[in-house]
Amino acid sequence: MNLHKLFLASLALSLGWAGSAFAQNEVDALRYTRLGINGSARIQGIGGAQTALGADISNISSNPAGLGMFRRSEFSISPGLQFNSTDTRVDNSFLSTDQNAVSIPHAGLVISNRRNDESSDWTGANLGISFTRLNNFNQRLSYSNTAASDQFTIVEYFAEQANNKGVTLDELNSEFSNGYTTLEGLAFGAYLIDVITDDNGNETVVPLFRGGEILQREDIRRKGSQNQFDIGVGTSYKDRLYLGASVGVVTSNFTQESIYRESESDASTAFTDLELRDEYTTRGAGINLKVGAIYRPVDALRLGISLQTPTAYTFTDTYQRALYASYDDGPTESAIELPGEFTYNLVTPFRATIGAAGIIGKYGFITADVEFVNYSNIKFSESDNDFASANDYFNDINSRISNTYQSAVNYRIGAEGRFDVFRIRAGFAHTGDPYKNASFDGGVNSVSAGAGVRLKNYYADLAYIRSSGNSRYSPFVLDNGDQPVVDIDERLSTVMLTFGYNF
């Protein structure tokens, strides 16, 4: 299988159509590993570039060395509103969908214990606690397509999968009698596939005959989020070297509901339409450690480095599918899969970030970050022995991850101008392409702008961030590569406001 086809296969599996209890794949791996701009409105207004900047509550989850720069205690909270717009194209068919969400992307507290003890070069330790929304999974997308009856339809996919797995008539009859556990079992129960036997007793699964054009449509709704709770500590040496460390606990909740339909109106065939409903929910938690340093050789320059260990997750999936088929010569046939649950582990890659910030006296600053992450190092593993074939399955998925993904460089740059108590900000961020040989650029670009006001004990910041990227998706993949391919353009706009109090 070439890498382009492998990539499309991974996207098809993201619907949970793997035909077994295991629906975990490289798409899931990337979902929990690829992060966007996060932090307070001040930090998001400068494109997320904060590794060398310091003295912001957002540093707890990025470079905890910035905690060492706090001279007073501080609390902040950041409500936000996100607008997600998704455009899909298949040949000449175009659809656009929108999904909006209200959330609190960031909140935090720093307790300063700074000492002014001239007998020590160390200024004491500051403690910080923060909440950060790493990913917002809320999205809706739809597409439609028209295909010939003998071309890239899901009924052919059902039959092809059964033949590739060597499924027998006895196995299909067993599911029909005892409960459905596979996609081909559902298709058999809805009378969309059948088994023929030749003179030598060889069995072949064949699709239901349909004529004319086949109208395909799918509606997908995703919801949930990925959040991180951090607790960190930072200190400084002679106000030149700042050191810090934090522990992050990540929680994730993702639900996907999809409805895939095919229909035809050929009067010479009994088939009318089919509907495949798929729903699964993934919940999990993970932990990581961050350590960082910021060095200030002169007042106008800051250099920073932050290292984050791999995040070790444990996830639990719950899933169920149902298939309905209508015929003009009889009632609607239905087959409903037995509900399932599976627990597994995921380890995301190590991250390293370096940054520099130039302070322009009382007039503001310019700051930039470069982050390195190798997506091919993502690893799945089993967490129990409920499924004897789990090791082989995850070994195969890990191999596909290595073949599909690559290392990427993410960079961020931002600036702030100061005018008395007022601040204006702008930033740009680029998330590098994680795919080795995809036929499109999988990078994501973000532009941001912001403004704020700083008083003695209070401050308020406003930010606007717009991110855009593109991807491709196939609901299923046939061996001959003759499946629908959906081009997806996604735009995410975020407006957030941070309120802060110093004490």
Cβ neighbours, 10 Å, residue 241: 17
DSSP 337: B
| SS3 label, residue 156 | helix
At 305 the pLDDT is: 98
**CATH code matching the domain that covers 3-153+210-502, chosen among 3.20.20.80, 2.30.110.10, 2.40.160.60, 3.40.50.300:** 2.40.160.60
* 378-422 pLDDT per residue, tens: 999 887 655 555 677 788 889 889 998 999 999 999 999 999 999
**Distance separating alpha carbons of residues 351 and 386, to the nearest angstrom:** 33
Q: What is the mean pLDDT of residues 81-94?
A: 86
Q: What is the mean pLDDT of residues 244-251?
A: 97
Which tokens sit at 313? Answer: 């997750």
Does 126 score more than 60 pLDDT? yes
At 212 the pLDDT is: 84
Nearest to 218 by CA among 144, 326, 320: 144
* 440-499 pLDDT per residue, tens: 788 999 999 999 999 999 999 999 999 998 888 888 888 887 888 898 999 999 999 999
At 268 the pLDDT is: 85
15, 148, 190, 234 from 263: Cα distances, Å: 20, 11, 15, 62
DSSP 485: -
Tokens 């001959």 locate to 480
At 167 the pLDDT is: 92
At 436 the pLDDT is: 87
Cβ neighbours, 10 Å, residue 196: 10
DSSP 186-246: HHHHTTSEEEEE-TT--EEEEEPP--SEEEEEEEEEEEEEEEEEEEEEEEEETTTEEEEEE
In contact, 351 and 373? CB cutoff 8 Å: yes
**Distance separating alpha carbons of residues 458 and 464, to the nearest angstrom:** 21
| SS3 label, residue 335 | strand
Does 150 score more than 90 pLDDT? no
**Distance separating alpha carbons of residues 165 and 19, to the nearest angstrom:** 10
pTM: 0.86
* 254-286 pLDDT per residue, tens: 999 999 999 988 888 889 999 999 999 999 999
Question: Is the torsion defined by CA of 453, 458, 459, 460 positive or negative?
Answer: negative
Q: What's the chain's average pLDDT?
A: 89
At 389 the pLDDT is: 58
Q: What is the mean pLDDT of residues 239-259?
A: 96
Domain boundaries, the chain: 3-153+210-502
Does 39 score more than 90 pLDDT? yes
| SS3 label, residue 61 | helix
At 25 the pLDDT is: 74
